[in-house]
Amino acid sequence: MLKKVGSSQLRVGMFIHDLDCGWMEHPFVRNRFVITDEDEIRKIVTAGIRSVTIDCARGLDVADAPTIAEAAAATEAEVAALAVTPVTPLRVSLAEEFDRAVSIRRQAAGLVKTVMQDARLGKAVELDKVSHVVENITASILRNASALLGLSVIKNKDDYTFLHSVSVCTLLVAFCRSRQLDAETTYQAGIGGLLHDTGKALVPDAILNKPGRLTEEEFDIVRRHPKDGYDILRRSEGIGAIPLDITLHHHERRDGTGYPDRQAEHDISELAQMAAIVDVYDAITADRCYHKGMPAAEALRKMYEWSKFHFNPALTQEFMRCVGIYPVGTLVLLESGRLAVVVEPHETSLLTPKVNVFYSTKSQTYIKPETVDLARGVGFGGGDKIVRYESPEKWQVDPQRFMQVA
């Protein structure tokens, strides 16, 4: 039986099934092992890991600990309570904005690649070009955020660094808009999101793209990228305080376990805390050479759990409301037995988005795609309900193919 336990409950003889730290560095070669001495427990605690999954069939038990299913059900109930929230009205349809968003994203990724290349050559960042891209991203978010947010889940492993920066910019702009921050602050945050990983230009590709676990020496090199990026951007004429702060502090954590300055809670600016949430969310939903990305809905639930220690809980909940309990692009199973992809949030309830259905799990065949508004009743274009989010790999389907059904 698998159970969720706090790191303070760990004892020698327990079998670790999962360290539950998909976004963190940790000192263990494997995620599954028997705890053989107290030093291993100290390493888990020192790494900032607050909870783990143990296998009671292969090691010591904790009698009153919740099972994985019980812990997941408790989290789901708490997440569902966040689901009622106003959503920014759409100015254009997804179909109208989708092709434009594809072009904007491609342009933005190309710019980030150029910025990285220039940084390696010691050149300053050309902020006028960055400003133009951020303005285009912001305009697309204002017209219909679902287009760019849906594209954020699509990343080529080889171009991850560039596409990650574009996604962080997109998500951070959307986050600022949902919190009704002023236009200039939103713009500056977008600049910070697009340039936050500029310091990775100085990290050797062999380390960035290493398929196996990094050594401690390699981790030290990676951990230098926030300060390296900060130093690069400071040489760029006209760079603002907000992008510099986001670049330097997007890896700081609420409990003081982050880097480079080990800032804690109130020492971290609000925008840097927002950037940290966005950065981790996008990272854990992406396929990398060393791990498979989580479905976006699962990632949000992990973020919710981790926010109790590592992120600002209130901001994490606001981010979840921003992208949706079932984010755009999420594969969901409906009560009817059909699979669908989420394409648009509802105006007030995040549990009843608009979806495009395309597959029957009962007959295990593709069906004629159609748009279903889950907020509507039977006979009014609705009459179905989300049971849970699903993994595309489980059903061997590509939900992104059905994002544009009319």
Q: Tell me: pLDDT of 85 over 70.
A: no
In terms of residue numbers, what domain contains 11?
A: 2-66
CATH number at residue 176: 1.10.3210.10
User: What tokens does 88 get?
Assistant: 């920014």
Decide if 165 is inside a domain. yes
316 with 256, same domain?
yes
Residue 60 and residue 105 in one domain: no
C-alpha 119, offset from chain centre = 26
- Residue 406 has a pLDDT of 55
Residue 76 belongs to a domain: no
Total domains in the fold of the chain: 3
Residues 305 and 369 in one domain: no
Domain boundary among 323, 341, 368: 323
C-alpha torsion angle, residues 140, 144, 145, 146 (rounded to 10)? -130
Q: pLDDT band for position 113 (50/70/90)?
A: very high
Q: And the tokens for 262? A: 């080990």
Whether the predicted pLDDT of 277 surpasses 90: yes
pLDDT at 21: 79
In a domain, 44, yes or no: yes
pLDDT bracket for residue 153 (50, 70, 90)? confident
Give the rounded percent of residues in the chain with a pLDDT score beyond 70. 94
Kindly state whether residues 288 and 370 are assigned to the same domain: no
More confident residue, 91 or 318: 318
Residue where a domain terminates, one of 281, 296, 323: 323
**Phi and psi based region of residue 265 (left: phi greater than 0; alpha: psi -120 to 50; beta: remaining):** left
Q: Which of 268, 297, 323 is the last residue of a domain?
A: 323
Mean pLDDT of 74-99: 80
Based on the fold, state whether residues 182 and 275 are members of the same structural domain.
yes
Q: Check if the beta carbon of residue 38 is closer than 8 Å to that of residue 81.
A: no
- Under 8 Å CB-to-CB from 165, ≥6 apart: which residues? 112, 193, 194, 195, 196, 197
166: closest CA among 174, 93, 319, 366? 174
The answer for 281, left when phi > 0, alpha when psi is -120 to 50, beta otherwise, is alpha
Q: Is residue 73 part of a domain?
A: no
Mind listing the pLDDT tens digit for each residue in 167-212?
999 999 999 999 999 999 999 999 999 999 999 999 999 998 888 7
Name the percent of the chain lying above pLDDT 90: 70
Contact 181, 300 (CB under 8 A): no
**DSSP H stretches of helix in 307-403:** 313-323, 392-395
Of the two residues 406 and 41, the one the predictor is more confident about is 41
Residue 194 in any domain: the answer is: yes
**How would you classify residue 381: left for phi > 0, otherwise alpha for psi between -120 and 50, otherwise beta?**
left
Q: Is residue 54 part of a domain?
A: yes
Kindly give the residue spans of alpha helices, DSSP state H, lying in 13-159.
38-46, 68-80, 94-120, 127-151
Residue pair 174/141 in contact (Cβ under 8 Å)? The answer is yes
Closest CA to 132 of 175, 213, 177, 190: 190
The CA distance from 242 to 43, in Å, is 35
Among 28-32, 271-275, 381-385, 393-397, the minimum mean pLDDT is found in 381-385
d(CA 324, CA 182): 22
Please give the average per-residue pLDDT across 224-238, as a whole number: 95
User: What mean pLDDT comes out for the span 19-23?
Assistant: 76
Q: What is the mean pLDDT of residues 306-312?
A: 93
